[in-house]
Amino acid sequence: MKNILQKIGWFIKQEWKTYLGMFFLLLLISFISLTPAYVLGLAIDNIISGNLNWSNFFWLIAGLILLPLFRYCMSFIYNILINKEAQKLAFQLRHKYLDHLFEMDSKFYEKYTKGDLISRVTADLEQLTIAATSLLEGIIFNIGIIIFAITIMSVSISWKLTIIAVSIMPIALTIFNFIRFQKRKYYKIHQEIYANMTEKVLESVEGQKTIRAYTQEENDLKKQNEAIMADINSWKYIVNFENWFNPLFEIVYGIAYILAFAFGVFFIINQEITLGQLIIFVSYIGMLYAPIIAVSTVFQQINNATISADRIDEIMKQTAEVFDDVEAKEIMEFKEIEFKDVTFKYPFDSFAVLKNISFTIKAGQTIGIVGPTGAGKSTLIRQLLRQFKTTKGQIFIDGISIEKFKIEDVHNLVGYVPQAHMLFKRSVDANIMLGNPKATNKDLDKAVRIADFNKDILFLHDGLNTMVEEAGTSLSGGQKQRLSIARALIKDPQILIMDDSLSAVDAKTEDNIIEQLKLFRKGKTNIIVTHRFSAIYDANIIYVIENGTISQQGTHQELLKQEGWYKAQYIQQITMNEK
């Protein structure tokens, strides 16, 4: 419980007035819950003694009616307050979690899968919210009833009978919860199994086209079933434990009931208590059962929530290697970018992808980057986007380390078209406007024209207002590429990076886009990573990346005069085109 309070202490401190009000409401509700049985017991003694009259009878009936109504009103107010606090807590926890995810760099996303991150912000966060909101009721209300009931039983009825009948309950509760606590480690295993299942389901949904294309539905369904069954079996283990464990509380309650009745009759015979007091006592024993079970359930919720809190806390404690310096500088434009002896190794790899890369990009140049698959081309430009921290070496902008500038400002310099085109379930124009939400319709039309996407609009049933299906499944590969290019162009960035962004378009469309870029991007910096040399014929300089190093550099014509990968690959492409 201490761990939970530490995790949500900031929220309780923020909402302390509301929590204080709910605290007193619960104490009042718990006390009122005990009064009807006490009033009824007194009435029975009055009936037996012959002291009951019409006036007493009227007040008895009024009390038995008004007390439940008053309790209902108090419970109604409490439920409104607690549900409001639960929603507020869930919102703030999710906001903090998602805000933290946006602060993390690519190394973090190499470590944690999507399914794992989603399970933490859904199942784990729900467990924490339930515990945080039910903790007050579970502890204050139920323990309040237990304390009030035991106090009344021992002070106004018989302290001896109370010790005999009630002492078994806290002893058993302590033992049982110790046993349950031993199972805590398995709940953590279950959460991990659930995260794996979530990841598998996400993978199947996102990859359903590929799965169908290779007729792997049966194999994928088998793997899904295995992941789901692992989750079911894990949960079944927990349920089976609870099924045989929870009835133990009923046995304890039954023993307490028998002791209360047997010794209560004995005390009546010895005239130590009255029949009405025995009825009150036995009623309170019955009323103690639900709070004791509820307290046990609260401890179970705390146990689950503690595991969930640790899993969420694990994410929240992660720190990004790429972050803004305290005195980070602003940057709006640049004259020169220099890569100096840049070496980079992915966090979980044992070898360097880039090795001692050094070159310079001057503002207004068009740079071509080519090389074999897996040579490190995309990794090279990701260094400029500050997605990772370089392993060795530095990148300078106008002679100042890129790490000295604000990450947001560096990103604002760049319009990036990645290999994997992430489209969202919204209209075509809304997807493009993500690049610049403040863009005008004129800017939108210009970006669409440069990306040669205007001809596709005629075939979309609602033009630019056509809804794009999830992950862009309603568009062809070429359409997704051109939409992504338009999104980067509408930003009118200082640097346009196209990472193999023309691979899915035909030669004529590629020529159109390149010609439009020459016209509208003149005087601005363009970095084109490609496998098709036609896109970089007119580049100011072309860098050939092989095995993580720059093996050749020069203009198209200069590289054709050199023996090496570029010339050999160019001849091969020309030969294939002629065929």
Structural domains in the chain plus CATH codes: 2-316 (1.20.1560.10), 336-419+495-578 (3.40.50.300)
* 184: confidence class by pLDDT, cuts 50, 70, 90: low
Give the number of other CB atoms < 10 A from CB of residue 37: 19
At 117-166, the pLDDT tens digits run: 888 888 888 888 877 777 777 778 778 888 888 888 888 888 888 888 88
**Stretch among 135-139, 358-362, 377-381 having the lowest mean pLDDT:** 135-139
Residue 550, classified by CB atoms within 10 Å of its CB into exposed (0-12), middle (13-18) or buried (19+), is buried
Contacts of 485 (CB under 8 A, 6+ apart): 417, 450, 451, 453, 498, 501, 513
Rg (CA), the chain: 35
pLDDT of 45 = 66
Q: Computed from CA positions of residues 141, 144, 150, 155, in that sequence, does the dihedral angle turn out positive or negative?
A: negative
* DSSP symbols for 319-376: --SS---TTPBP-S--SEEEEEEEEE--TT-SS-SEEEEEEEEETT-EEEEE-STTSS
- CA torsion angle 499 501 507 511 (round to 10): -80
Angle at which helices 159-166 and 275-316 cross, to 10°: 50
Average pLDDT of the chain, as a whole number: 83
Share of the chain above pLDDT 90, in %: 20
For the range 150-156, what are the long-range contacts, defined as Cβ-Cβ under 8 Å and sequence gap of 24 or more? Answer: 150/288, 152/34, 152/38, 152/280, 152/284, 153/280, 153/281, 153/284, 156/277
Region 76-90: mean pLDDT is 88
pTM of the predicted model as reported, rounded to 2 decimal places: 0.69
* 114: confidence class by pLDDT, cuts 50, 70, 90: confident
User: What distance in Å separates the CA atoms of residue 251 and residue 254, rounded to the nearest whole number?
Assistant: 5
Classify strands 414-417 and 495-499 as parallel, antiparallel or unpaired: parallel
User: What distance in Å separates the CA atoms of residue 444 and residue 436, rounded to the nearest whole number?
Assistant: 9
pLDDT of 3 = 67
At 382-413, the pLDDT tens digits run: 888 888 888 899 999 999 999 999 988 999 99
